Amino acid sequence: MSYAVKNLTQGSRELIAFRIGDQEFCVNIMSVREIRGWTPATALPHAPPFVMGVINLRGVVLPIVDLSGRLGMKAAEPTARHVIIVTQVKSRVVGLLVDAVSDILTVTDDNIQPTPEISSDIERQYARGILAMEGRMICLLELESLFPETESEAA
């Protein structure tokens, strides 16, 4: 698989940018269903460390993933100031725990640069590209490869 920019459709797109630690990431706004504050999650037995548990989202049992831990960074210690981005990944709904939502970006494909070769494996797997915005570096994540759907079927 090529780690270069995957073929993106022409024209501008909207992205939601958020912060984890001192890094900034963004995802396509079309996959975001809502953004809500942190509520304590019910722990799940035998879950990987980055799965914080499940919460009640208006009657739906919603799993919460610590995105920081998922990306191989330091596990988050959630506080009331943390934010859950409720995203739709294929047929499932998953909540992503992040530090804060920072921006809504409107970008064109030209703004997205390929992921540099030096990046670590984890980042190369999930990063779809890098954006340069007013001196900041924002990493565009691909949710589908963060949460491959086939796994649950195999389990």
120 contributes a contact to another protein by CB under 8 A: no
Q: Is 97 in the site for another protein (CB under 8 A)?
A: no
- Among the listed ranges 28-36, 101-109, 119-127, 136-144, the one in contact with another protein (CB under 8 A) is 119-127
Our CB check for another protein shows the closer of 40 and 116 to be: 40
Distances (CA, A) of 65 to 14, 37, 74: 23, 14, 13
Three-state SS for 23? strand
* 63 vs 114, beta carbon nearer another protein: 63
| Cβ at position 61, least distance to another protein in Å | 5
The residue from 7, 80, 117, 155 that contacts another protein (CB under 8 A) is 155
Instruction: Please state whether beta strands 51-57 and 60-66 pair in parallel, antiparallel, or not at all (unpaired).
Output: antiparallel
- Of 13-21, 38-46, 100-108, 133-141: span binding another protein (CB under 8 A): 38-46
Q: Does 46 bind another protein (CB under 8 A)?
A: yes
With a CB cutoff of 8 Å and minimum separation 6, the contacts of 13 are: 28, 29, 106, 107, 108, 109
Question: Stretches 16-24, 74-82, 107-115, 146-154: which one binds another protein (CB under 8 A)?
Answer: 146-154
Angstrom distance (rounded) from CA 9 to CA 5: 11
Q: What DSSP line would sit under 72-118, residue for residue?
A: TSPPP---TT-EEEEEEETTEEEEEEESEEEEEEEEEGGGEEPPPTT
Q: Of 23, 113, 119, 125, which lies in the binding site for another protein, with binding defined by CB under 8 A?
A: 125
d(CA 96, CA 60): 15
Residues that bind another protein (CB under 8 A): 40-48, 50-51, 53-56, 58-63, 65, 70, 72, 92-94, 122, 125-126, 145, 147-148, 151-152, 155
